[in-house]
A and B are shown apart, each in its own frame.
Chain A
Amino acid sequence: MGLLDFLRPRKAAPAPAASSELFDDEFQRKLEMLALVSRRVFSGRLRAERRSKKKGSGVEFADHRDYVPGDDIRSVDWNVYHRFGRLLVRLYEEEEDLSIYFLLDCSASMGFAGSQKFDQARRLVASLAYVGLANLDRVTVLAMTEGTLERLPTTRGKGRIFTVFRFLSSLLPGGTTDLAESLREFAAQHKRRGLALLVSDFYDPAGFEHGINVLRYEGFEPYVIHLVDRREAKPELDGDVLVVDCETGDEREVTVTPGVLTRLGSAYEQYLGDIERYCTQKRVPYLAADVTLPFDEIVLRALRRGGFLH
Chain B
Amino acid sequence: MTFAGLPLAWLVGIGTSAAAATVLLYILKLRRRPVAVAFAPLWHRVLGDRDASRLFSKLRRWLSLALQLLLLALLALALADPRPTHELGTGRNLVLLIDASASMQATDEKPTRLDAAKNVAKSLVRGLGGSDRALVVAMGAVPVPLSTMSDEATDLVAAVDRVRAADTRADFGRALELAADALHGLPNGEIVVLSDGVLAPPEPAPDLGGAALRFAPVGKSGRNLAITAFSVRRYPLDKSRLEVMAELANLDGARAEVELSLLGDGAIIDSERLVIEPGAKLSRFFPDVGGARHALEARVRYADGHADALPADDHAYALVPERRRAKVLVVTAGNTYLEAALLLDEYLDVTDVKPSQYPPTGAFDATIFDGVAPPPADKSGGLVYLNPPATGGPVKLGKAIAGFGFDTWDKKSPLLRFTAPGDVQVASGHALEPGPGDKVVGASDDGPILVAGNRSGRPFVVLGFDPRQSDFVLRPAWPLFVLNAIDSFSESDTSYVSAYRTGEVWRVPVPPGAHEAELATPDGSTRAVPVEDGRAVTFGDRAGFYRLTSGTDAARSVTEFAANLSDLDESRILPQKKLTVASHEAPPPAVGSGGVRRELWLWLLAAVLALSVLEWITYHRRVTV
Partners in one complex: yes
Q: Which of B35, B40, B46, B49 is A250 in contact with, Cβ under 8 Å? A: B40
Within 8 A of A (CB), among B42-84: 42-47, 49
In the assembled complex, which residues on chain B have CB atoms less than 8 Å from the CB atom of A243?
34-37, 40, 43
Q: Which of A1, A112, A237 contacts B38 (CB 8 A)?
A: A112
Known A-B contacts A241-B34, A242-B33; the reply to A255 vs B40 at CB < 8 A is: no
Using a CB-CB cutoff of 8 Å, which residues 191-240 of chain A contact chain B?
A: 201, 203, 205, 229, 232-233, 235, 237, 239-240
A254 within 8 A of B: yes
> What residues of chain A lie closer than 8 Å to B37, measured between beta carbons?
112, 232, 235, 243-246
Interface residue B30 (Cβ < 8 Å from any Cβ of A):
yes
Give the contact stretch, choosing among A98-106, A148-156, A180-188, A259-267: A259-267
Does A75 have its Cβ within 8 Å of any Cβ on chain B?
no
- A255, B622: Cα distance in complex, Å: 8
Q: Does A252 contact B (CB under 8 A)?
A: yes
Q: What residues of B have a CB within 8 angstroms of the CB of A112 in the complex?
A: 36-38
Task: Name the contact of B625 in the complex, choosing from A115, A241, A244, A255 (C-beta under 8 A).
Answer: A255
The smallest beta-carbon distance between B56 and chain A, in angstroms, is 14
Closest to A253 in B: B32
Give A1 to B49 CA distance when docked, in angstroms: 27
Within 8 A of B (CB), among A5-51: none
CA distance A46 to B44 in the complex (A): 51
Question: Are B32 and A242 closer than 8 Å at their CB atoms?
Answer: yes
Closest to B623 in A: A257
Judging by beta carbons under 8 Å apart, are B35 and A267 in contact? no
Do B40 and A244 have beta carbons less than 8 Å apart? yes
With a cutoff of 8 Å between Cβ atoms, the chain B residues found around residue A244 in the complex are 34-37, 40
Roughly how many angstroms separate A240 CA and B620 CA in the complex, as a whole number?
12
The answer, yes or no, to whether A308 is at the interface (CB within 8 Å) is no
Chain A residues contacting B49 (CB-CB under 8 Å) are 263
Contacts A203-B38, A232-B37 given: A252-B32 contact, CB under 8 Å?
A: no
Majority-rule SS of B interface residues: mixed
* Inter-chain contact total with CB atoms closer than 8 Å: 86
Q: A residues within 8 A CB of B40? A: 243-245, 248, 250-252
> Measured between alpha carbons, how far is A263 from B37 in the docked complex, in Å?
15
Inter-chain CA distance A233–B47, complex, in Å, is 14
B32 touches A267 (CB 8 A): no
Q: Is the CB of B45 within 8 A of A246?
A: no
Contact across chains for B38 and A267 when beta carbons are under 8 A apart: no
- Chain A residue contacts of B45, Cβ below 8 A: 267, 270-271
Chain A positions within 8 Å of B41 at CB level:
203, 205, 245, 250
A62 at the interface (CB under 8 A from B): no
**A235 cross-chain contacts in B, Cβ below 8 A:** 35, 37
B33 — which chain A residues lie within 8 A by C-beta?
239-242
Query: How close is B244's CB to chain A, nearest CB, in angstroms?
Result: 85
Is A268's beta carbon under 8 Å from chain B?
Answer: yes
Q: Are B38 and A240 in contact (CB under 8 A)?
A: no
Question: Does A113 have its Cβ within 8 Å of any Cβ on chain B?
Answer: yes
Chain B residues with CB under 8 Å of A201's CB are 38-39
For A246, the chain B residues whose CB sits under 8 A away are 36-38
> What 4 new A-B contacts, CB under 8 Å, besides A201-B39, A240-B33, A263-B49?
A113-B38, A203-B38, A243-B34, A246-B36
Q: Which 9 pairs of residues, A with B, have the shortest CB-CB distance? A: A245-B40, A203-B39, A242-B32, A112-B38, A257-B622, A263-B46, A250-B40, A109-B38, A242-B34
A-B contact pairs, 19 of them (CB 8 A): A112-B36, A232-B38, A232-B39, A239-B33, A240-B32, A241-B32, A241-B34, A242-B35, A243-B37, A243-B43, A244-B35, A244-B40, A245-B36, A245-B40, A246-B36, A248-B40, A255-B622, A267-B42, A270-B45
